[in-house]
């Protein structure tokens, strides 16, 4: 029986992160291919790797498939819908247009297809995949690991015709730090396109570029919503209450795995979606979601086909397994229900609290980037989760009373405030139980920004 390769040590993981940071800071990015390659490697490590230090063999055609997914929408004209602004395909190379975009654009025009699922159904798609694989092999796979005036093959080596080999410990690190690699790649990708002068007439002061590059279109999500209503009925997946208006929610949060897969979508109340936010749902939701994947897999695939969104039940389950495993290792808590909103709507205070919402969130990563980047010479932004060790009775409710619960408490008169807080505290206890030593652990997200100014 073969022995599993142990995961890289904490020190080895820090070395890997330091080299990733150097790659972004000291690498030569004449096109956006290297960003696409890093995203592709991180995604494939999540889907195909394991939580050990083993090497991982990947085919260049697997990488090429991810390139087509990433660039498919990019090969269509971008428009801000603002008067006087031009419309056009964004340039993603400092020289001629990126070859992959040209290849995809030509394929779309020649075969009259608009969605990637339609394209995959054509025999000619194999030829497109071959062309993109050649481009990926000749350019980003050859040059990605060149930085700082030399070559450091710390991520992969070529393992033969059409093959690369992620080195020992690399797949583990890419799985462990996938959100960070994704965030850095996407942020620099957006910045690269904005800094290309040939895109100026098309972009203007656009603030939706990141959504265009990396999210499904509103039209596609509307098709998904309609399909899910027919499939699941007019009920929120999480709370089971009837839907009037609804959100299409990523069951595995988009912030954790920023790729749209039809099997990962559910319909939810806005309050449930907002409350769940970037958190993985609790076991009772997971069990129902997995059962739904098994029983409704073909129906969900059909919804994806109509919406032009990739559908892959197996990959979706692997991503979920990775996400929950990572959360368990980090000691994170799972989301059970929109407690604040449920409690607000279910007591004698319900009329008073109608229309009251939780405290507003901080700005998004992209918004901070847009504000700070023009003022800085270099800028890095990342997010992590701290486990706050709280003490005392109803520690999480006490903590929330100064943050997200404050708008509800402020809206209530004194004679209702105490009862509302007691009901909220009771709702929190099973979600955040006290440990044997009396401590309550609260996962808390923190955003870090490191900027350097010129001069």
pLDDT tens track for 426-450: 888 877 788 899 998 887 667 788 8
Return d(Cα 23, Cα 151) in angstroms, integer. 10
pLDDT value, residue 331: 65
Nearby residues of 138 by Cβ (< 8 Å), 6 or more positions away = none
Report residue 60 as tokens. Answer: 């260049």
pLDDT classification of 164: cutoffs 50, 70, 90: very high
Q: CA neighbours within 13 Å on the CB side: how many for 194?
A: 19
Report residue 423 as tokens. Answer: 């009901």
Q: Which of 202, 237, 184 is nearest to 38 (CA)?
A: 184
Span 274-330, pLDDT tens digits: 888 888 887 778 888 999 999 999 999 999 999 999 999 999 999 999 998 888 777
Burial class (CB in 10 A: 0-12, 13-18, 19+), 249: buried
Size (the chain), residues: 455
pLDDT value, residue 1: 47
Calculate mean pLDDT across residues 336-362: 68
Span 55-90, pLDDT tens digits: 999 999 999 999 999 999 999 999 876 655 678 999
Q: Which of 263, 366, 359 is nearest to 313 (CA)?
A: 263
Query: CA 104, 106, 108, 112: dihedral to nearest 10 degrees?
Result: -170
Return d(Cα 421, Cα 281) in angstroms, integer. 24
DSSP conformation letters of 184-252: HHHHHHHHHHHH-GGGHHHHTT-S-HHHHHHS--HHHHHHHHHHHHHHH-SB-TTT-PBPSS-EEEESS
Return d(Cα 397, Cα 399) in angstroms, integer. 5
Three-class secondary structure of residue 287 per DSSP:
helix
Task: Judge whether residue 150 has pLDDT over 60.
Answer: yes
């Amino acid at each position: 029986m073969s022995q599993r390769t142990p995961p890289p040590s904490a020190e080895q993981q820090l070395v890997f992160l330091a080299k990733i940071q150097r790659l972004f800071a000291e690498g030569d990015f004449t096109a956006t291919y290297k960003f696409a390659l890093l995203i592709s490697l991180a995604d494939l490590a999540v889907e195909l790797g394991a939580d050990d230090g083993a090497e991982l063999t990947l085919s260049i055609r697997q990488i090429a498939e991810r390139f087509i997914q990433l660039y498919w929408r990019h090969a269509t004209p971008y428009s801000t819908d603002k008067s006087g602004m031009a419309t056009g395909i964004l340039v993603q190379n400092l020289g001629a247009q990126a070859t992959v975009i040209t290849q995809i654009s030509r394929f779309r025009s020649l075969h009259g297809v608009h969605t990637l699922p339609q394209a995959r159904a054509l025999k000619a798609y194999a030829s497109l995949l071959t062309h993109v694989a050649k481009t990926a092999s000749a350019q980003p796979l050859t040059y990605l690991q060149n930085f700082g005036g030399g070559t450091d093959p710390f991520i992969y080596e070529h393992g033969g015709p059409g093959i690369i080999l992620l080195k020992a410990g690399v797949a583990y690190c890419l799985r462990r730090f996938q959100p960070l690699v994704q965030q850095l790649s996407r942020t620099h990708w957006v910045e690269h396109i904005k800094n290309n002068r040939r895109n100026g007439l098309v972009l203007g002061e656009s603030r939706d570029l990141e959504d265009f590059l990396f999210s499904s279109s509103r039209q596609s999500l509307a098709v998904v919503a309609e399909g899910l209503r027919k499939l699941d009925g007019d009920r929120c997946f999480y709370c089971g209450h009837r839907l009037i208006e609804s959100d299409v929610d990523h069951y595995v949060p988009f912030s954790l795995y920023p790729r749209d897969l039809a099997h990962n979508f559910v319909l939810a109340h806005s309050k449930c979606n907002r409350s769940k936010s970037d958190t993985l749902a609790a076991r009772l939701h997971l069990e129902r979601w997995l059962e739904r994947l098994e029983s409704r897999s073909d129906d969900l695939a059909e919804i994806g086909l109509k919406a032009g969104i990739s559908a892959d039940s197996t990959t979706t389950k692997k991503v979920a397994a990775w996400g929950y495993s990572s959360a368990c290792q980090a000691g994170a808590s799972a989301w059970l229900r929109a407690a604040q909103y449920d409690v607000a709507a279910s007591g004698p205070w319900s009329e008073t609290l109608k229309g009251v919402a939780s405290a507003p969130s901080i700005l998004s990563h992209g918004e901070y980037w847009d504000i700070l980047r023009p003022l800085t010479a270099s800028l890095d932004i990342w997010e992590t989760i701290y486990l706050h060790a709280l003490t005392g009775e109803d520690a999480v409710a006490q903590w929330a009373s100064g943050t997200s619960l404050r708008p509800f408490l402020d809206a209530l008169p004194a004679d209702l405030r105490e009862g509302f807080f007691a009901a909220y505290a009771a709702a929190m206890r099973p979600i955040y139980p006290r440990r044997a030593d009396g401590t309550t652990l609260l996962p808390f997200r923190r955003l870090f920004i490191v900027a350097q100014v010129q001069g």
